Structure 1
Amino acid sequence: MHFQVCRNYYGYGYPCCDKEGDPILLSAFGPLDVEGLVKSISSYDYIRTSLKHLEEGMILAKQSAEKKGEPYSQLTMVVDLNNLNTSHYTYKPFTYSYLTLLAIFQENYPLAFKKILVIQAPSVAQYAYTLLQPVLSEHLQNMIEIPGGWEERLFELVDKKDWPAFWGGEGKDPNGDEKCPSKVVYNEGPIPESYYADDKMEDKEALTVYAGDKRLLDFEVHTPNTQL
C-alpha cells in the first residue's frame, strides 16, 4: 500500500537537465494531500521515500559530472507550490515529519542542490516560508528563490523545449501528455480513503506526543501495584 501511495500521489520527477547539463528535480509539493498522506503511510516511509528520490538525483548528478569531465555536479530543484494550503504548515503530524526530513537533509546533504526555485507560489507561501526560516541554514536560504515572474526565471535555468508543457514549457510525452508522466509523478486529487492505513485496532486510540509536549492520561487500575 505504501508503494502505491508514493507511486501515485507523491509528486516528483526528473523531467530534464538544466542548461548546464545537470539534472532537475521537480517536486510537486503544493498539490500534495498531506492529511491523506499521513493517514496512508508512516512518517518513516515518507522520509525514506523523500531521501530515495534525492539519492536518485545524486546518481544522475554523478553521471552528469562524469559526462562533463567534472569532479561533481549538483542538482537544481524546482518546487511547484500550486494549491498549497494551510494544512501543509499547520497539520502537526505532517509538519513534524517534514521538519525531521529537513533536518536530515541539512545535516547529510548540504551540497546536493545548487538552486531551489519555487514556482506557482500562492499568497500563503510567503507566510509558510517565514515560519520555516528559523530552521533553515543560511546556506539553504541563499539557494531558495521565490520569484514573482517565475516563468522568466525558470527558463533562464532550463530550455523551454525540454521542460514539461504542463509547467509552462514545451515538452510532452510521445503520446502528447503535457505532464510527462513517463518522467514525473503528478496527481492533484486527494488520496482515496481506500489507501488509508487500517491498524485493525478499532477499540484503540492513537496519540502522538511531540518533542517538548506532554499529555495527561487517566487509567483505571484493577490490580494493585501494577506498573505501566
Structure 2
Amino acid sequence: MEWRKQWEVDKLSEWDPPQILNDYLPHGLCGFDKDGAPVVVVYFDALDIYGILHVVSRREMIRVTIKRLEEYLNLCREQMLKHGPAAGQVVVIFDMQGFNLRQYLWRPAGEVVITLIQMYEANYPEILKNCYIINGILFIIITPKVFAFAFSVAKKFMNEYTLSKIQIYKADPAKWQAAIFSNIDRDQVPAFFGGTLKDPDGNQKFGTKICLGGKVPKEMYVTNTEKDKETFTTVTIKKGGKLELDMPAHELGSLLSWEFRTENHDIKFGIVKKDNNGIQKEVIPIRRVAAHQLDEIGILTCEVPSTYSVVFDNSYSIMRNKKIHYSVRIIPPSESQELTSATS
C-alpha cells in the first residue's frame, strides 16, 4: 500500500519517537475486558497538543500515532489468537473532563487532529472491521458542554460505522460506570473511573501504566517552522497606529476565534462588542500581550446580532512599528468548516 510506504509503517517499530511524545501523549493500556480485548485509557484533557507542536513537527506527531495504532493492532491480533474474535476489539475510555477547545482552534493543532481522523478512517479499515479502537466500544465520559461543538466538527470526518461505536456520557458516573463495567471487570480499570487499579503511591489514575500527559514546559519550546504562513494575514501597524477588524456575527452559537503573533515586540490587543443600538462593550479588555514570545490564541462565544471589533493597538508606541501575523475567524454553528476570514 502506497500510504504504508510513504509513512514507512513497517519500519516504525524500529523508530524511537522524540522523548516528549513518550512523556506527554496521555494514553496507555490498563487491562482487558471480559472477552480479552485490550482496554486503553486516554486522558484527553491532559493532551497539550499546542505545547507538543511547539517542540516536534506535525509529521512526528502523525508518525507516533501510527506507531501506537500498529502496536495496539498487533496486541489485538495476539489476544484474538488466545481468546477468539471477540478479543480483537479495543475498548477505549476517553476522559474529557476539563476539555478545552481553545488550543484546537490554533490552526496547526486543528489540522493535525483532522488529519489523524482522516488517516484512521482511510487506512485502517481492517481495524474498524475486526480489531481496533473504534471497533470496540468507545466511551467518551465526563463530557463538558463545549465538547458538543468540537464533536460536531470531528464527526464530519468519521464514517457511520465509527459513529455507531461511540457512546457519549455527560458527567453522570452512575450511567457511564454502568456501561463500562458491563463489559470490563473492575480490577482492569483505574480507580479514577471506579475500578480498583492504583499506583503504589495511591494515584488513582494509574500513572505507572498510563501516561498522564500534562502541560509541556515552555522552556522546551522551539521555533516551529511548519506554521502555514500563507493562512495568515501579515500587516505592519505603524507607531501610534491601530488596526480594527470588524467581524459580524449573525447566527446564534457562532464562535469568534483568533490567533496571532508579533515580531520582536508586544502589542495591545482586545475585543469590543458592538450591538445594533450602537452600544459598545469591551469583552476582552485591551491590554499589552507578549505575542512575540508566544502565539496568542483564543475563542469567544458570540452574542447575536452583534459585531465584534478585534483591536490591535500600537498607539502607545512612539518609536516602533509592529509587524503582526493574524488569523481571525467567525465559525458558524451549522457550518463549522466554512470559516470566514477577517478583512480589515
Q: TM-score range by the shorter chain?
A: 0.7 to 0.9
Partner of 1:185: 211
1:98 aligns with 2:91: no
| Secondary structure class of the residue paired with 2:99 | coil
Aligned-pair RMSD on alpha carbons? 2.6
Q: CA deviation at 1:3?
A: 2.3
Sort the Cα spacing of 1:160 and 1:196 in 2 relative to 1 into closer, same or farther, 3 A: same
Of the two structures, which has the highest relative contact order with CA contacts closer than 8 Å and spacing of 6 or more? Answer: 1
| Comparing 11-20 and 81-90, the one that deviates more | 81-90
Indicate the structure (1 or 2) with the bigger Cα radius of gyration: 2
Partner of 2:58: 43
Q: 2:140 aligns with which of 89, 113, 118?
A: 118
* Aligned AA (1:22): A
Q: CA deviation at 1:161?
A: 2.1
Task: Provide the rounded CA distance (Å) in 2 between the counterparts of 1:24 and 1:30.
Answer: 18
Partner of 1:171: 197
**Structure 1 gap ranges (5+):** 200-204, 218-228
CA contact (8 A) 1:25 1:57 kept: no
CA contact (8 A) 1:31 1:82 kept: no
Structure having the larger proportion of residues in helix: 1
| Secondary structure class of the residue paired with 1:24 | strand
In the comparison of the two structures, how many residue pairs are matched? 210
Task: Provide the rounded CA distance (Å) in 1 between the counterparts of 2:53 and 2:157.
Answer: 22
* Aligned AA (2:211): V
Instruction: Give every structure 1 segment of 4 or more consecutive aligned residues whose post-TM-superposition deviation is greater than 6 Å.
Output: 214-217
Q: CA deviation at 1:89?
A: 3.3
Task: Provide the rounded CA distance (Å) in 1 between the counterparts of 2:169 and 2:31.
Answer: 21
**Structure 2 gap ranges (5+):** 1-15, 236-344
Task: Provide the rounded CA distance (Å) in 2 between the counterparts of 1:108 and 1:88.
Answer: 27
Partner of 1:223: none
CA contact (8 A) 2:35 2:83 kept: no
* Aligned AA (1:164): P
TM-score normalised per structure 2: 0.56
* Aligned AA (1:12): H
Partner of 1:34: 49
TM-score normalised per structure 1: 0.81
Give the fraction of aligned pairs with identical amino acids, expressed as a percent.
Answer: 26
Structure having the larger proportion of residues in strand: 2
